Amino acid sequence: MSFVKVGDSLSTGERFGLIRFGSRLDIYLPLTAQVLVGLGQPSIAGETVLADLRATEPGRQYRVG
């Protein structure tokens, strides 16, 4: 469920939708984005930083298990 419409402006940390329990979320990032989480890594909405769009350092590695 989305709370905004195409063209709306958002501020950092502002809610723009709702994911119900068990739902999947697809996130599309530019190819230049530095991904900061790994496959299978738990994340917390509003807390876990998923990517850095301006990073210059090498990518992080995450090991499951």
Query: pLDDT tens, 2-15?
Result: 778 888 888 887 77
Predicted confidence band of residue 40 (pLDDT cuts 50, 70, 90): confident
From 2, 9, 11, 23, active-site residue? 23
Residue given tokens 């190819």 in the structure block: 31
In whole angstroms, what is the distance from residue 38 CA to residue 44 CA? 13
Domain count, the chain: 1
pLDDT reported for residue 65: 60
Predicted confidence band of residue 59 (pLDDT cuts 50, 70, 90): low
Q: Which residue has the higher pLDDT, 65 or 51?
A: 51
Does the residue 2 lie in any domain? no
In whole angstroms, what is the distance from residue 45 CA to residue 14 CA? 12
Check if 11 is active-site: no
Does the residue 41 lie in any domain? yes
Does the residue 54 lie in any domain? yes
Residue given tokens 């876990």 in the structure block: 48
Phi, psi (rounded to 5 degrees) for 48: -80, 125
Domain that holds residue 37: 25-65
